[in-house]
Chains A and B, each alone.
Chain A
Amino acid sequence: MLTLQKPHRHVETVIHSEVLIDCRIENLYYGDFRAIRDCDLSIERGKITAFIGPSGCGKSTVLRCMNRMNDLVQGFRIDGQIHFQGQDIYHPSVDPVAVRRHIGMVFQQPNPFAMSIYKNVAFGLKLNRVKDDIPGRVEDALRRAGLWDEVKDKLKSSALALSGGQQQRLCIARAIATEPQVLLMDEPCSALDPIATRRIEELMLQLKERYTIVIVTHNLHQAQRIADKTAFMYVDTSNSSRTGFLVEYADTHRLFNHPQQEYTLQYLRGEFS
């Protein structure tokens, strides 16, 4: 049997890389339920960071903490800090709305609004009161999301008529139209077929040059293919509860080939065998 040990706190040498989000979650609750404990890690600028782990281990919860989406859940409470460019985003003086404008998000299910394709992408621009050259920005965002050629002739038609993969790329275009610094992606490919998944992955590798990307995925191959760094989370079912925690966080290559923790090793072995 495995012994539960306090996860090894990763002391990364911050010389070449620059920390953009510094996440120090001690405990996270939904009402009385403790969903997460001990999750400390630093997201580095310009890299793709992947969260992997079994379902229910709180990967998405941690991700949703980074732009305060969890504030919308009743009973949510967090002990700890998350620093974004040196500012604690959970400090009382911080406006969650402003945080979300800097840290964009793409969700598991494609969720375009029931509006035209053009209006979907322009939605964020309108929120930020951008007035100049909206058509140009929309086109640019759609191009970078690799969707422009497919939709340039039907910008005025409903976004709901697009296929699932196209909808998800539209959601990415919508998120990047306002030039956020970070893009959080919560299992963006789980509702898509392999071909659409492939396109999104290629897209992420392109976007990496401009944005810092944090992705939650249940697909280990996907993490290996695209992520620079990978965080492995596991779920602690002692005390008849399910509390997720961070087991290991390292460069993707190292985590998959030389895992330092017993949990990681077993999980990878189980998944890959």
Chain B
Amino acid sequence: MPTPAQSPHVSQSNSMVSNHSKRSPARTSPTFEVSVVSPPSTTDVLVDRGFRGLAYVFAWLTIVLVCTILYEIGGHAFPAIQEYGLSFVTQSTWDANNAQFSVLPEIWGTLSSSLLALAIATFFGVFIAIFLTQDFLTPRVERVFTTIFELLAAIPSVVYGLWGIYIVIPTIRPIATWLHEHLGTIPFFSTPLSGPGLLPASLVLSIMILPTIAAVSRDAISAVPNQLREAAYGLGATRWQVIPGVVLRTASSGIFGAMVLGLGRALGETMALAMLIGNSNQVSLSLFSPANTLAALLANNFPEAGKVEEQALMFAALILLAITLGVNMIGTVIIDRTTRRLTGGTS
């Protein structure tokens, strides 16, 4: 437990208590001229201490929760770690009948779908962040657009999955077929799009992480001091000389942080991918071939898993946890540092 003296306010109120109790006034006179001030009663002090203690207990719960998550998943994965070791991430069979488990295709699918989605979402997200901050719109319209882009994040993942199955896949299938027929020699287009696949999954995924990237980039861009923009405009720069030359350059680390956070979201996204990626254990360069991700593997196999497969799935969960925690940690640190630099420090 932390000592209460860590807070400046606490030490202040403690000293106040002692001051008062030293010169405790005698409250005997009935006239109102005498001060009604009294030191905080014992109850007040106890309630104060108790409440703050309770708050700290709840705050610590968050830390305990994170540790428990690591412990529980790690603990349940332990037998599988002993059993399969490194081969778990280098081979590509998932066979519950023969108790052969490994997740190379899932890791490949997780990374490739996320990075593809990240590329698309960053392109759109940065332009949207610029659109929302660089005087393209009147404030009222700006708010409307901001809400629209934020609502993109409010639509549940499973609804995007449903939409992806019945809208996105039929829409892109003719394009994919054309690309496969004419440019089939390029590895990216080497298989036809029969239905679910990497590309539709990544497209929907990019829509889902777009709001994160746009919002965090927008914050980074609007934190660029107006003085700097004015300086550039005052030199006779056009809007598109100011934006890359000054605005994006100053906000670059914040935008990078946005990308990392977006990547973290993409890596952990489950439902839309489970519905759209095809759940096929193969490593392929083709954008149109079905693939699988760690999260989709868990969603699809966990409900019907036996004891042994469950341990293997826990191992897969641990890998996913490690990847997302790592990426999110990097993103959080980058953004924290950027905000501190732009708001606190001078140089």
Contact = CB atoms under 8 A, between A and B. Distances in A.
Interface of A: 67, 69, 72, 74, 97-102, 104-107, 109, 111-115, 123-124, 127-128, 158, 160-161, 171, 174-175, 178
Contacts of B234: 67, 69, 100, 104-107, 175
A100 B347 contact: no
Nearest to B347: A160
B230 A111 contact: yes
B235 A107 contact: no
B236 A97 contact: yes
B233 A72 contact: yes
Interface stretch (B145-153, B167-175, B237-245, B266-274): B237-245
9 contacts: A69-B230, A69-B233, A107-B230, A113-B246, A113-B250, A128-B236, A171-B231, A174-B231, A174-B235
A113 B228 contact: yes
Contacts of B230: 69, 72, 105, 107, 111
A148 B133 CA distance: 37
B235 A124 contact: yes
Contact of B236 (A101, A106, A111, A158): A101
A114 B250 CA distance: 7
B246 to A, nearest CB: 6
A91 B138 CA distance: 22
A111 B235 contact: no
Interface residues of B, number: 23
B304 interface: no
A174 B230 CA distance: 13
B346 interface: yes
Chain B binding site: helix, strand, loop or mixed by DSSP? helix
Contacts, number: 73
Contact of A104 (B227, B235, B346): B235
Contacts of A106: 234
A111 B228 contact: yes
Contacts of A100: 233-237
Interface of B: 135, 138-139, 225, 227-238, 241, 245-246, 249-250, 346-347
A177 to B, nearest CB: 9
Contacts of A98: 236
Contacts of A113: 228, 231-232, 246, 249-250
Nearest to A184: B234
Contacts of B236: 97-102, 104, 124, 127-128, 178
Contacts of B225: 111
A106 B138 CA distance: 28
Contacts of B237: 97, 100, 127
Nearest to B138: A74
Contacts of A160: 346-347
Nearest to A174: B235
A103 to B, nearest CB: 9
Given A72-B135, A111-B228, A160-B346, A123 B233 contact: no
A49 to B, nearest CB: 18
B250 A101 contact: no
Given A69-B234, A72-B135, A109 B227 contact: yes
A113 B233 CA distance: 12
A124 B246 CA distance: 12
Contacts of A112: 231
Contacts of B138: 74
Contacts of A105: 230, 234-235
B95 to A, nearest CB: 56
B335 to A, nearest CB: 18
B347 to A, nearest CB: 4
A190 to B, nearest CB: 14
